[in-house]
């Protein structure tokens, strides 16, 4: 086998099934595209059915194998049911990318209890719930890779984002705990920690803070690599964790932020 073929094999996801939450837009859609390009069949999960079906249609027009499933990651019933549907349709789950998210930009005084609950339920409980239902199937299938979406704010605090920072800090340590528990099952669990990424969520944050999006994009580019990130930047890190390039990497976090935390 030549060197190029070896590299191709390391990055290939041929024959694998990947599940992505929050897959209808932003980082989730970028990851869906990249994993499908690597050969994986991809199940997109989201609560926005219209956007989810549009995402699948756009990927299928490029010849990429994707399917859409409705799932509210805060619902145990939804997570249980969608896992059963995917196992019925594909027979297995090799990769789980827990990516569904919400960002509420308020401090402790401003934040309402229901907003705290929403953030923690989507970002932290949702990561737990879907993993809870998927991991037994990974164990039965001799292993898999779970990638959780953290944040640069998993590692440091940020302004006017108390629920987001709390949840993302939890996601990072949940990742470590899951890696310890399930390494024996050949399940690797890692965390990708993006900085500012040009997504609909980032635009929503600007609106919440009363900031001009274009001005924010210019100011947020004040980092070593001099630009805001793209979903593809994060998707490449997800591919690393999903593929055989990272077979001895678990319990790790990878910051993808253009050097913002440097």
Catalytic-labelled residue, pool 68, 69, 128, 164:
164
Structural domain containing residue 237: 7-197+230-250
Query: pTM score, two decimals?
Result: 0.96
Residue 155 lies in a domain: yes
- Tell whether 141 is covered by a domain: yes
Mean pLDDT lowest among 114-118, 142-146, 177-181, 213-217: 213-217
What SS3 class is residue 27? helix
Domains contained in the chain, number: 1
Known catalytic residue at 128: no
Return the H-helix or E-strand segment holding 19.
Answer: strand 17-21
- Any idea what the CATH number is for the domain that residue 178 is in? 3.40.50.720
Residue 218 lies in a domain: no
Q: Is residue 15 part of a domain?
A: yes
| 31-89 pLDDT, tens digit each | 999 999 999 999 999 999 999 999 999 999 999 989 999 999 999 999 999 999 999 99
Residue range 191-234, pLDDT digits in tens? 999 999 999 898 889 899 998 888 888 887 889 999 999 999 99
- Could you tell me if residue 66 is inside a domain? yes
In a domain, 216, yes or no: no
| C-alpha dist (Å) from residue 47 to 74, 83, 124, 204 | 10, 15, 17, 17
């Amino acid at each position: 086998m030549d060197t190029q073929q070896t590299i191709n094999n390391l990055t290939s996801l041929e024959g694998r099934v990947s599940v992505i939450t929050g897959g209808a837009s932003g980082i989730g859609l970028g990851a869906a595209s990249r994993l499908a390009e690597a050969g994986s069949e991809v199940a997109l999960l989201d609560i926005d059915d219209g956007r989810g079906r549009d995402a699948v249609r756009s990927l299928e027009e490029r010849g990429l194998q994707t399917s859409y499933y409705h799932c509210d990651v805060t619902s145990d019933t939804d997570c249980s049911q969608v896992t059963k549907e995917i196992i019925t349709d594909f027979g297995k789950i090799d990769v789980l990318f827990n990516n569904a998210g919400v960002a509420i930009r308020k401090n402790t005084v401003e934040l309402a209890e229901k907003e705290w609950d929403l953030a923690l339920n989507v970002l932290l409980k949702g990561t737990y719930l879907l993993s809870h239902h998927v991991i037994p199937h990974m164990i039965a299938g001799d292993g898999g890779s779970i990638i959780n979406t953290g944040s640069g704010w998993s590692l440091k605090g940020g302004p006017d984002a108390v629920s987001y920072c709390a949840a993302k800090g939890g996601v990072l340590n949940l990742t470590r705990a899951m890696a310890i528990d399930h390494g024996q099952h050949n399940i690797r669990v890692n965390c990708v920690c993006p900085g500012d990424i040009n997504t609909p969520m980032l635009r929503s944050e600007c609106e919440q803070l009363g900031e001009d999006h274009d001005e924010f994009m210019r100011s947020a580019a004040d980092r070593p690599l001099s630009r805001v990130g793209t979903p593809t930047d994060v998707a490449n890190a997800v591919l690393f964790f999903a593929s055989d390039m990272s077979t001895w990497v678990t319990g790790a976090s990878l910051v993808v932020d253009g050097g913002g935390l440097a």
